[in-house]
Structure 1
């Protein structure tokens, strides 16, 4: 297992891909074929989402405000996770502060376009994924499906980027609490396959389809399921979290599988790193109550402050990985034989750890 040697840095699979696909232009084909009727809801509908991940919109009445009021709103920003490609070709979330405006779903995807609005904000070593000039519209259905409608420029991407594009679109949109699945259209029409490499697509994509897929040792996909865990990547002084999807035994407890994959660490040929030291083990079976998973480890997990504290990166990778599981919102970590667990800062870890509000902000 490769372990990241990081000091003084604060913590901030072959799967069947499903999808369908968009409305730009009124060519003859568009006049001869009708898209299926879908009932959409306003992106701005309040569906009790977490702060920072709401799909915000503006009604016509709200739009008829004074120029001064409009100027004030345009200066507001909101943090969004935009899934970009790093130097190793991994699809990675980067938290960017975007102007707060209506049509948050559409806006998030617009920041995936090469030479688009992300150009002045993109971190060093990262790149956008959608072809230049791609125009986007997004509609949200009542059942939580975001229908992403792309202009024909969407078809002009390298074949080897096809899966990365699917993953980037899906994970960027499903950061919003009211988006469960994503459908893709091109110029208003559903697609049976992706346009370049002909990856089969169907009724919808979700996070269960995975990201940065690894098949591992899973030979029988029917007897396995996917879990997504987070590792680290380090480029110079920059450290960031990278999600990876692996296939695990369907018969095993899913929570134990997440811990096992984290402790196994990145694949040997991978550039990814782990901050778990060798010898870390669970000493009790994981339990869940009220959205909190409780994990008890041996003292090998205490790798900081001369073996008395747990790494912030370990806490964050646990929180990021477990909150990808349905129904888990926080992670409570305890150490066998230790009354008080310390963090890297020397503070007592007295409360369960929640998912970091901002992932990969570029601030260290």
Structure 2
């Protein structure tokens, strides 16, 4: 076959590239005190923004932005699909999946970020089959937290808000196990979505639903008909949406849109109360053969939005070894200033696990520092065994 791209291929590539625009905020390694004076995050360039939601069924000749190479089943890894243990340090933990649901909300700096909320207390527990006692599936419960509800605003972590407008009515939420998709049918057009926030709302919907076990794609309909355009911005919406649309998309400096790929990075932010949390940022970079190594190098470079985000790694870190074997990312880093007697920041290790599992699709990461895997982090978690992607991300107080 010829290597030249068709118009649809270029469109899908641009869609992937847009995956990576906004970044997150302050890290528990340091950070400011009061509420920062932060302007709204700039939207992606119009041409890229339109194409990011306008995916086609034609596969490009390179992986799309959210495509991961999972040797086991080809599906993107997510908290609900990965079992095991990961260190708990405020931002991530391994809570019982049935007692919690992870939803993507808008933070005070304008970034879409995951929040793991406890649901057992309000519903009285979980019944068999992943349903709450109130009769809701996990998908329905998650969606209910994504709709602005005055009675629930004070139940969200301070500074976070739902992206779907109050009064949003949903006719049905129908999963399809065979296609690993879920169809959300809205009763009415989403006219209440603010222009500028409508893309964020779609990102939040797709990333929330694909956080659930067995779900890789989302279909949006209105009264049974496919949602084709966002009401406010008129951005076209593809019939099937995946994480390939990106989240908090940003572009690296001097990126060539015709030769771009996206990598999703996890930076650290801080709530108004000083609690640390992670925010995923999809960054568009020039295409490289090794997605995992490219993601790690971008994570080391740090966030672009230093007014809202803090780096999670130091820029002098050296990647000594990186490979994926039998669904485990094997990562060894070198840091000339580190000794085994010095605990590694837990936040740093968690960001590495989240970024590497997102980039590769592998469910766990084996970490070493200066060739030593017997170290512990600042929360006394040991890394002498592979660490699984956490089942709960950003469990803030509310």
Cα distance change of structure 1 residues 4 and 168 upon mapping to structure 2, 3 Å threshold = closer
Q: What is the CA deviation profile of residues 61-95 of structure 1, one whole-angstrom value per residue up to 9, with x for unaligned ones?
A: xxxxxxxxxxxxxxx96211111000011001110
Residue in 2 that maps onto 1:175: 211
Residue in 2 that maps onto 1:161: 197
Which structure would you say has the larger Rg? Answer: 1
User: What is the Cα-based RMSD across aligned positions, in Å?
Assistant: 2.9
Cα distance change of structure 1 residues 81 and 290 upon mapping to structure 2, 3 Å threshold = same
Residue in 1 that maps onto 2:256: 220
CA distance in 2, matches of 1:205, 1:220: 24
Residue in 2 that maps onto 1:88: 109
Residue in 1 that maps onto 2:335: 299
Q: 1:272 aligns with which of 309, 320, 327?
A: 309
Cα distance change of structure 1 residues 311 and 220 upon mapping to structure 2, 3 Å threshold = same
Residue in 2 that maps onto 1:38: none
Structure 1: segments with no counterpart, 5+ residues: 8-12, 21-49, 55-75
Q: Secondary structure at the match of 2:99?
A: strand
Superposed displacement of residue 348, structure 1: 4.2
CA distance in 2, matches of 1:117, 1:186: 26
Q: What is the CA deviation profile of residues 71-128 of structure 1, one whole-angstrom value per residue up to 9, with x for unaligned ones?
A: xxxxx96211111000011001110012324432122112101116743421101111
Q: TM-score by structure 1 length?
A: 0.76
Q: Secondary structure at the match of 2:392?
A: coil
Structure 2: segments with no counterpart, 5+ residues: 1-24, 31-43, 56-76, 82-96, 124-131
Residue in 2 that maps onto 1:251: 288
- The 5 A counterparts of 1:93-242 are 93-98=114-119, 99=123, 100=132, 101-115=135-149, 118-136=152-170, 137-141=172-176, 142-152=178-188, 154-217=190-253, 219-235=255-271, 236-242=273-279
Q: TM-score by structure 2 length?
A: 0.70
Residue in 2 that maps onto 1:311: 345
Superposed displacement of residue 185, structure 1: 1.2
Q: What is the CA deviation profile of residues 240-285 of structure 1, one whole-angstrom value per residue up to 9, with x for unaligned ones?
A: 000000112323311111111110101045411123223111123x
C-alpha contact (below 8 Å) 2:230/2:237 kept by paired residues: yes
Greater RCO (Cα-Cα under 8 Å, separation 6 or more): 2
C-alpha contact (below 8 Å) 1:277/1:301 kept by paired residues: no
Q: 2:375 aligns with which of 327, 336, 341?
A: 341
Q: Secondary structure at the match of 1:170?
A: helix
